[in-house]
């Protein structure tokens, strides 16, 4: 069953002083099946964050349709959107979006607090995730006291803590060194094996080569996609890297 259906999605930004229009998304269509692990790649400015924000109902499209878990997003009432998001989605923001007035731990608990969960349950959920992400030692600190890579892992923990069926991650390894990247990718593999669906925007060929499918966006449209099939991570790595070269050199759609 498909967990996400996107059809003919458009987003045009009009700059504040009128005049200039940016067509961030021109015509994006794709579907994601429940349990898939999909990476999205594309050059800076190609519309990846715009797309994720629309999928999470944090922004509205100019045209087209998004169906999440069988529900058309623009038909969900404004008042129900945040509950819908909280119950279905985990979102990792490109700029982390942590609250400086809350400790690391409270930032991670936030979605569960909003869902009215018990403290004991929150702690039981956090312990394994914090261990896997290597952030156990910093839970009592505040976001302004930790590094960029640590913030990123905290943002990932906050997205995973509710056990969402769909995880939308905007460059979740962008601020991480290679060891932390490997740990995060290991965690994503593990939760995907348990059945959670992942849609991850990334600039990292290595991160993309862990996915089951890689979508490439260029000029606001899906340009190409690669299915893993029986490829190993290494074989997929080479295919992704070849496609990126083609994209950068302006190759024709194939
Ligand atoms: N709020 C906004 N107002 C006007 N233009 C915007 C706005 N947000 C994004 N854009 C423009 O839309 C285009 C797509 O931006 P977007 O942030 O989706 O790119 P991206 O693929 O996520 O890039 P990156 O890899 O650098 O994160 C860019 O040209 C950007 O300048
Ligand atoms: Mg972006």
Report the Cα 61 to chain-centroid distance in Å. Answer: 18
How confident is the model at residue 252, as a pLDDT?
56
State in Å: Cα 50 to ligand 1 middle: 6
Contacts of 125-133 with C-beta under 8 Å, sequence gap 24+, read 125/161, 125/163, 126/157, 126/161, 129/157, 129/160, 129/161, 129/187, 130/157, 132/183, 132/186, 132/187, 132/190, 133/157, 133/183, 133/184, 133/187
45 CB near ligand 1 (under 6 Å):
yes
> pLDDT for 180-222, tens place per residue?
899 899 999 999 999 999 999 999 999 999 999 999 999 899 9
How confident is the model at residue 253, as a pLDDT?
52
**Which residues touch 56 (CB under 8 Å, ≥6 apart)?**
85, 89, 91, 168
47 CB near ligand 1 (under 6 Å):
yes
Q: Is it the case that residue 254 has pLDDT exceeding 70?
A: no
Ligand nearest to the CA of 220: 1
Contact status, residue 107 vs residue 143, Cβ threshold 8 Å: yes
Q: Which atom of ligand 1 is nearest to the CA of 171?
A: 27
Q: Which atom of ligand 1 is nearest to the CA of 25?
A: 14
pTM: 0.93
204 CB near ligand 1 (under 6 Å):
no
48 CB near ligand 1 (under 6 Å):
yes
C-alpha to C-alpha distance for 150 and 130, rounded to whole angstroms? 11
* HSE toward the beta carbon, residue 62, CA cutoff 13 A: 15
Ion ligand 2, residues whose Cβ is below 5 A away: 48-49, 94
Q: Is it the case that residue 27 has pLDDT exceeding 80?
A: yes
- Above pLDDT 70, what percent of the chain? 98
State in Å: Cα 219 to ligand 2 middle: 14
How confident is the model at residue 74, as a pLDDT?
86
Q: How confident is the model at residue 83 (pLDDT cuts 50, 70, 90)?
A: confident
178 CB near ligand 1 (under 6 Å):
no
């Amino acid at each position: 069953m498909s967990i996400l259906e996107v059809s003919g999605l458009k987003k045009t930004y009009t700059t504040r002083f009128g005049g200039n229009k940016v067509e961030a998304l021109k015509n994006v269509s794709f579907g994601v099946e429940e349990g898939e692990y999909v990476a999205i790649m594309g050059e800076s400015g190609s519309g990846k964050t715009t797309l994720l924000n629309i999928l999470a109902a944090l922004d509205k499209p100019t045209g087209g349709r998004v169906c999440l878990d069988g529900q058309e997003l623009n038909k969900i009432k404004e008042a129900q959107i945040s509950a819908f998001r909280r119950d279905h989605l985990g979102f990792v923001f490109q700029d982390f979006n942590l609250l400086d007035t809350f400790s690391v731990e409270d930032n991670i608990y936030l979605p569960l607090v909003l869902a009215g969960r018990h403290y004991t349950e929150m702690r039981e959920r956090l312990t394994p995730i914090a261990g896997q992400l290597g952030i156990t030692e910093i839970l009592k600190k505040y976001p302004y006291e930790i590094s960029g890579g640590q913030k990123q892992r905290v943002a990932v923990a906050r997205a995973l803590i509710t056990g969402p069926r769909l995880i939308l991650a905007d460059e979740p390894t962008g601020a991480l060194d290679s060891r932390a990247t490997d740990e995060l990718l290991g965690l994503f593999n593990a939760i995907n094996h348990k059945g959670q669906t992942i849609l991850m925007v990334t600039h990292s060929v290595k991160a993309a080569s862990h996915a089951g499918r890689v979508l490439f966006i260029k000029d606001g449209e899906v340009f190409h996609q690669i299915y893993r099939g029986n490829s190993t991570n290494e074989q997929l790595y080479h295919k992704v890297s070849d496609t990126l070269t083609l994209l950068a050199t302006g190759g024709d759609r194939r």
